[in-house]
């Protein structure tokens, strides 16, 4: 999914880790 940049800034992850961030975020599991 297309996630806004502020989402990654909030989690303190870099652009290279975006897919990892998505995988770890509960919202993307429908939680």
Overall pTM > 0.85: no
Per-residue pLDDT tens digits for 1-31: 576 666 555 555 555 555 555 555 566 555 4
The per-residue DSSP string of 1-31 comes to: ----HHHHHHHT--GGGHHHHHHH-GGGGT-
């Amino acid at each position: 999914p297309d996630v806004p940049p502020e989402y990654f800034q909030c989690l303190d992850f870099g652009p290279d880790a975006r897919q990892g961030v998505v995988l770890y975020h509960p919202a993307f599991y429908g939680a």
